[in-house]
C-alpha cells in the first residue's frame, strides 16, 4: 500500500510545488511583452514556455456555444441527461427561436457518441461533436476521472462500460439512435449492440466504428506490441497505483493519468520536443496565432484522467492480449458476445490509412465478425492518421461527410420520407 501510494503522492507534491512557478512565469511573461519595440519578446517567450511546462491542466470544457444548423446559427446548451458515478450522458441541446428551424432540429438523426476511456477526457472529441451537432442531435459519454470516484461507489470494469452503453441506448430509444464509437470504445460498443441483438431487443439504426482495435492481431502497431510483450502481472505491478489522500477516490487502485501521458509522449518524443521548440520560436517572432494553436492542442493533450485498475487491466488482457472479441471468447455479465446475432443495425467501419495507433484492418475486422449483417460498409481515409479520423481538417473534409451520409441513409425518419 505504501509503495503504491508513494509515486502518486510524489507526483501530486511536484504539481503543488510547480504551481507558484507557473504563476510567476506568467506574470514575468506578461510584463516583458510590454517592453517597447519587442525587445522583451525573447525573454517573455522563455517565461511563457516555462509556464506551459509547469502549469496544471485541469479537465477541459467543450466550449461549444453555437453551431450553424439548417442555415441559421443556433445556440447549444449542454444538458446532463443521465448520471452514474462513472459517467455523465451529456446532450448538446440545440435551440432556435425560428419555428421552422426548431422543427427541423427536432427531426435530425439522434447520435450517441461513445468517447474513449483511455487517458483523455471526452473533450478530445470536441471537433467531432461540433461537426455532428450541425446536423444531428448529439449525446456524448463523458467518463469520470477515477480519482474523483469514492471507493464506496464500487469498481469499474470493461463489462461496466458495455452495460453503460446498453443503458444509454435503451434510454434514448435504440431504433432511432445511431451509435458512433471512436477508438477504444469500438470494442465495447460492438459488444453492447451484439448483446442487445442476442437478447431480442431493439438495436441502433446504425453503428459506426472508427479507429478501434476490434482485432489487434491485424497489422499490429507499437501500441499492440507494448501490450503483448509483457505479462499482465507486469502492468499491474508497475502501472497500477493507489489514489492518495486528498482526493475523493482515496485508496482506489488506478492507472494514473500522469503515467498514461508519459506513455503517450514516449511514443514520439521528438515530435513533442519540436512542437515546444516551435512554440518558443513562434512567441519570439510574434506569430501569436500559431502559438495559440499550440496552447489549445496541448491544454487538451496534457489533460488526462485516471482509469480504474480493473477496467485498465481487463482492457489490456481481453482486448490487446487475448483478442477475446475477435476470437469469439468474450463474455460480458456471464453471456458470450455474439456479433453474428446483429441483424438490423447497419455497420460502417472507418480507418485512417496512416493510423499508427490502430493498425490497418483492425477496425474493418468487425465486418467479418458481423456475419448476420448484409448492410455493412468500410471506409479508409487516405492520408489520415489516428487523430485525423475524428478531429481536424481531414476529419471535416473527408471522414465526416462519409459518416453523415451513412447515418442519414439509415435513419428511419429520413428513409420513410418523413424528412426533406
Alpha-carbon distance 80 to 92, whole Å? 9
Q: What is residue 293's three-state secondary structure?
A: helix
Other residues' Cβ atoms within 10 Å of the Cβ of residue 229: 8
Topology of domain 66-227+307-415, CATH: Rossmann fold (3.40.50)
Distance of CA 256 to the CA centre of its chain: 17
pLDDT of residue 419: 43
Other residues' Cβ atoms within 10 Å of the Cβ of residue 383: 10
Per-residue pLDDT of the chain (420 residues; tens, 9 = 90+): 445 557 787 777 777 777 787 787 778 777 777 777 566 788 888 888 888 888 887 889 999 999 999 999 999 999 999 999 999 999 999 999 999 999 999 999 999 999 999 889 999 999 999 999 999 999 999 999 999 999 999 999 999 999 999 999 999 999 999 999 999 999 999 999 999 999 999 999 999 999 999 999 999 998 899 899 999 999 999 999 999 989 999 999 999 998 888 887 887 889 888 988 998 898 888 898 998 998 888 888 888 999 999 999 999 999 999 999 999 999 999 999 999 999 999 999 999 999 999 999 999 999 999 999 999 999 999 999 999 999 999 999 999 999 999 999 999 988 765 443
- Ranges of each domain in the chain: 2-56+257-301, 66-227+307-415
- Whether the model pTM is above 0.75: yes
Using the Cα atoms of residue 190, residue 211, residue 262 and residue 129 in order, give the sign of their dihedral.
Answer: negative
Alpha-carbon distance 209 to 363, whole Å? 7
DSSP string computed for 304-339: B--EEHHHHHHIIIIIIIS-TTTTT--EETTEE--G
β-pairing verdict for 346-352 and 206-210: parallel
Which has the closest alpha carbon to 321: 229, 250, 388?
229
Alpha-carbon distance 333 to 144, whole Å? 22
CA angle 369, 375, 377 (to 5 degrees): 75
Residues 133 and 69 sit within 8 Å (Cβ to Cβ): yes
Amino acid at each position: 500500500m505504501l509503495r503504491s501510494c508513494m509515486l502518486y503522492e510524489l507526483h501530486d507534491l511536484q504539481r503543488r510545488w510547480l504551481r507558484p512557478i507557473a504563476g510567476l512565469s506568467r506574470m514575468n511573461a506578461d510584463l516583458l511583452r510590454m517592453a517597447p519595440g519587442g525587445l522583451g519578446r525573447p525573454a517573455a517567450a522563455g517565461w511563457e514556455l516555462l509556464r506551459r511546462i509547469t502549469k496544471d491542466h485541469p479537465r477541459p470544457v467543450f466550449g461549444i456555444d453555437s453551431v450553424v444548423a439548417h442555415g441559421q446559427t443556433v445556440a447549444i446548451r449542454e444538458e446532463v441527461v443521465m448520471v452514474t458515478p462513472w459517467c455523465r450522458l451529456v446532450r448538446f441541446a440545440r435551440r432556435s427561436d425560428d419555428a421552422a428551424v426548431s422543427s427541423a432540429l427536432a427531426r435530425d438523426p439522434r447520435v450517441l457518441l461513445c468517447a474513449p476511456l483511455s487517458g483523455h477526457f471526452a473533450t478530445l472529441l470536441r471537433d467531432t461533436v461540433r461537426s455532428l451537432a450541425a446536423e444531428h442531435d448529439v449525446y456524448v459519454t463523458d467518463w469520470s476521472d477515477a480519482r474523483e470516484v469514492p471507493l464506496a461507489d464500487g469498481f469499474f470494469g470493461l463489462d461496466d462500460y458495455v452495460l453503460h452503453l446498453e443503458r444509454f441506448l435503451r434510454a434514448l430509444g435504440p431504433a432511432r439512435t445511431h451509435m458512433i464509437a471512436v477508438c477504444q470504445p469500438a470494442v465495447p460498443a460492438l459488444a453492447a449492440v451484439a448483446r442487445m441483438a442476442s437478447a431480442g431487443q431493439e438495436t441502433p439504426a446504425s453503428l459506426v466504428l472508427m479507429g478501434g482495435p476490434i482485432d489487434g492481431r491485424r497489422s499490429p502497431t507499437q501500441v499492440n506490441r507494448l501490450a503483448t510483450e509483457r505479462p499482465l502481472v507486469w502492468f499491474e505491478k508497475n502501472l497500477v497505483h493507489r489514489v492518495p489522500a486528498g482526493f475523493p477516490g482515496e485508496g482506489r487502485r488506478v492507472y494514473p493519468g500522469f503515467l498514461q501521458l508519459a506513455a503517450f509522449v514516449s511514443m514520439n518524443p521528438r515530435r513533442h520536443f519540436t512542437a515546444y521548440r516551435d512554440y518558443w520560436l513562434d512567441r519570439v517572432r510574434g506569430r501569436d496565432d500559431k502559438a495559440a494553436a499550440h496552447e489549445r492542442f496541448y491544454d487538451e493533450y496534457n489533460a488526462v484522467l485516471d482509469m480504474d485498475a480493473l477496467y485498465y487491466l481487463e482492457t489490456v488482457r481481453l482486448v490487446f492480449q487475448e483478442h477475446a472479441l475477435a476470437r469469439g471468447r468474450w463474455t460480458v455479465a456471464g453471456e458470450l458476445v455474439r456479433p453474428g446475432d446483429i441483424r438490423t443495425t447497419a455497420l460502417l467501419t472507418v480507418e485512417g490509412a496512416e493510423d499508427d495507433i490502430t493498425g490497418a484492418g483492425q477496425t474493418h475486422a468487425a465486418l467479418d465478425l458481423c456475419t448476420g449483417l448484409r448492410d455493412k460498409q468500410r471506409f479508409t481515409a487516405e492520408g489520415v492518421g489516428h487523430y485525423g479520423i475524428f478531429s481536424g481538417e481531414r476529419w471535416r473534409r473527408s471522414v465526416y461527410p462519409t459518416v453523415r451520409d451513412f447515418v442519414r441513409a439509415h435513419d428511419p425518419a429520413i428513409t420513410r420520407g418523413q424528412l426533406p
